[in-house]
Structure 1
Amino acid sequence: MSINTTPISPGRALDALRTGFAAQAAGEMTVCWMLHGRPGIGKTEIVQQLATETGATLFDLRLTTIEPQDLRGLPFYDHDARRTVWYPPEDLPDDPATPAILFLDELTAAAPALQPTVYGLLQERRVGQHALPACTFIVAAGNTVEDGAIAYEMGTALSDRLVHLSLRAEATDWIESYAVPQGVHPAVTAFIRTRPDLLDTSENALRKGQMIACTPRSWARVSTLMNAVPDKALRDVLIAGTLGEAVAAEFILIAEDIAATVQATAMLGADGKERLEMYPASLHGLTALVYALVTLADKRTIGGVIEIMAEIRKLSELSRNAAFAALPLGELTTYGFELLIDKALAEGLQEAFRASAAYADYAAEREAAGLA
């Protein structure tokens, strides 16, 4: 059964959940949400991010690992009342004073016998006599049969209880909403910016009968490998086991070029003339430098980061290396400043821009060109 709704990026899905959470907190609406998407696209991370932002307690239920009685609780006989009563499970929210998110993960892979129990949670917001507090926000997630995952068709009795969001991986959204904020290795971020088609290769891998595919989750794992495994030969094998041999070979070549040319930390401690010789003269290298600078920016370094970022646009004039003339230096500088300003606003570092002569010069140049 197809999911006949407009596909959106994970970042937009998070925006939708933020809006829903705020509306429920204000008493304007109470609905349940369903995130559809291929394995590894970031459904779990979206819900975890929402919980972090809102301060809500996250109750993460993996429905493939529980039975109906795990939600219903355990019965015991009350001799005084002469009836059977139930001990409620600890896996469900019960504090009316504390905002909570109930995450029903792997809903479409749950056994059909469990679905009637889930109906009550979604529609009546209760299981048996245990009612969820009004401050509980409910989100479900799952894959489809077409994703190559274990999944059951969702019946209309279940689907009618949900607002459905269909997630599709988008490189720009992943870079700006996840990779940069999470400090993903600059080689990974730079590679995806220049090869956005390789962010998610699940469909192509399924068509070819290949087990390994690239997903946003697997690229995040590659970032971890880049930072954690110093032995290059071993690291290359592990990357191939994460991305597949063909994509890994392409990525490793680019990563080697970046490793040989990107010296972001050293550049922050270098003077102007010495620093000028340290700029990488390839698109991959400069792109990785931009991401590395944004990652390194903090209260101590942001002044130097702004200077280097502003200098990128002038490399074809300042450097004797003719390769810079063929690179989109202005575009990279603008993109880098957009990312850096977003981080500065999020972390309270914006005053550094007001105090920076390099940024004032860059802003004046853009204004004179009618780009401000």
Structure 2
Amino acid sequence: MKPSEIVSALELLLEVRQPVFLWGAPGVGKSQVVAQVAAEHGMELVDIRAVLLDPVDLRGIPRIDDAGNAVWCPPSFLPRSGRGILFLDELNTAPPLVQAACYQLILDRKLGEYELPEDWTIVAAGNRESDRAVTHRMPSALANRMIHLDFDPDLDDWLAWAERTGVEPKLRAFLRFRPKLLHAFDPKKSEKAFPSPRSWEFASRIIAADRPARITHALLKGAVGEAAAAECIGFLKIYDELPDAEAMLADPGGVRIPDDPAVIYAMCESVAREASDETMSSLAVLAARMPVEFSVLLMRDAAAVEPSIVETEAFQGWARANHEVLVS
């Protein structure tokens, strides 16, 4: 399931307080989506890294009560009130005894004397065994206590998130051009760095820092791997050599439309960020001169930047001219 579908599934499962396990390759954004859902619904998030726990940590330590009985004192990180998500991240990375300690908590919402508050839901996540990450096989008794969802990265979902969070526009344009590089993890290779939604977020910060090209290249190589870094650096050079966006919009009928798809992707990203009711006429002229797939891309991005442009006469004229493409 792509991230937006995972979000919808989590919202339903939170309503019925059904435990769920998210399976996905390293770096696809599992924990980030859980945090997003919690924030959007005003829920508290308690993030527990199961791999850091000992088997006794969840149950707590015993004390002697006034009657001389041993009573377990659960740890302070377990919630006592409110509404939220208890997130057991990297659960299948934890040793089998730690996973066993989660049995009762996940199924019965209890652990010794501790009881999970009514408005809390358990969500767990981990890497797949096929990813060759450090994992322990999940016991069937634990697996049967949860709904299992496969988490797959999706470019459109990532781009929407990247737009909201201010990921470097140059990088968004590059991944539109090379969508297969959003997540290119091969468990058979021993590379330490590889492209993933998480590592591209790192790359965005590196690019935005605007250091010398040699330093930027080295850092990108360390974030996303040598091959992806080389392609990204090549694209950034193209992007930086484009005319200024304001200059292109000042002469939309005269600016040269390049033949190289990489350059057109870069051009679309650059001018779309200038979208407004005032620039819409120029955007429409420029879009009309582009190949139809790039024309649609430009207008879609422009509308995402400034939704009001869809009400302008220039946008509606462009939409009428491209009606067959838009409804297909």
State if a TM-score over 0.5 links the two structures. yes
TM-score, length basis structure 1? 0.78
| CA offset digits 1:285-320 (Å, max 9, x no partner) | 3323444556x47xxx63346445433322x3xxxx
Give percent identity, aligned residues only: 31
The equivalent residue for 1:172 is 156
Assess, with a 3 A threshold, how the Cα gap between structure 1 residues 260 and 32 changes in structure 2: closer, same or farther. Answer: same
Tell me, yes or no, if the aligned pair for 2:193 and 2:221 is still in contact at 8 Å. no
The equivalent residue for 1:42 is 29
Question: Does residue 182 in structure 1 map to residue 156 in structure 2?
Answer: no
Question: Does residue 220 in structure 1 map to residue 201 in structure 2?
Answer: yes
TM-score, length basis structure 2? 0.88
Offset, 1:19: 2.7
CA distance in structure 1 between the partners assigned to 2:250 and 2:271 by the alignment: 19
The equivalent residue for 2:287 is 313
CA distance in structure 2 between the partners assigned to 1:263 and 1:126 by the alignment: 61
The equivalent residue for 1:353 is 310
Tell me, yes or no, if the aligned pair for 2:252 and 2:286 is still in contact at 8 Å. no
Secondary structure at 1:313 match in 2: helix
CA distance in structure 2 between the partners assigned to 1:260 and 1:371 by the alignment: 31
Assess, with a 3 A threshold, how the Cα gap between structure 1 residues 117 and 170 changes in structure 2: closer, same or farther. Answer: same
> Which one of the candidate residues 12, 17, 31 is aligned to 2:5?
12
CA distance in structure 2 between the partners assigned to 1:339 and 1:18 by the alignment: 28
> Which one of the candidate residues 64, 67, 71 is aligned to 1:85?
71
Question: Does residue 52 in structure 1 map to residue 39 in structure 2?
Answer: yes
| CA offset digits 1:180-233 (Å, max 9, x no partner) | 332322222222222222222212xx3243332211111111111100242221
The equivalent residue for 2:89 is 105
Secondary structure at 1:303 match in 2: coil
Assess, with a 3 A threshold, how the Cα gap between structure 1 residues 185 and 308 changes in structure 2: closer, same or farther. Answer: farther
Assess, with a 3 A threshold, how the Cα gap between structure 1 residues 151 and 303 changes in structure 2: closer, same or farther. Answer: same
Offset, 1:279: 7.2
CA distance in structure 1 between the partners assigned to 2:192 and 2:325 by the alignment: 51
CA distance in structure 2 between the partners assigned to 1:352 and 1:239 by the alignment: 36
> Which one of the candidate residues 130, 138, 141 is aligned to 1:146?
130
Consecutive unaligned residues in structure 1, runs of 5 or more: 1-7, 317-326, 345-349
The equivalent residue for 1:5 is none
CA distance in structure 2 between the partners assigned to 1:274 and 1:189 by the alignment: 25
Secondary structure at 1:261 match in 2: coil
Offset, 1:128: 1.4
CA distance in structure 2 between the partners assigned to 1:224 and 1:141 by the alignment: 26
Please give the root-mean-square deviation of Cα atoms over the aligned residues, in Å: 2.6
CA distance in structure 2 between the partners assigned to 1:137 and 1:155 by the alignment: 21
1:247-326 correspondence to structure 2 within 5 Å: 247-261=228-242, 263-264=244-245, 267=246, 273-274=250-251, 281=258, 282-292=260-270, 296=273, 302-304=276-278, 306-314=280-288, 316=289
> Which one of the candidate residues 350, 358, 362 is aligned to 2:318?
362
Consecutive unaligned residues in structure 2, runs of 5 or more: none
> Which one of the candidate residues 44, 47, 52 is aligned to 1:65?
52
CA distance in structure 2 between the partners assigned to 1:308 and 1:137 by the alignment: 51
Question: Does residue 331 in structure 1 map to residue 312 in structure 2?
Answer: no
CA distance in structure 2 between the partners assigned to 1:189 and 1:20 by the alignment: 32
**What amino acid is aligned across from residue 56 of structure 2 in structure 1?**
Q
| CA offset digits 1:99-143 (Å, max 9, x no partner) | 201110001101111112211121001221111112112210001
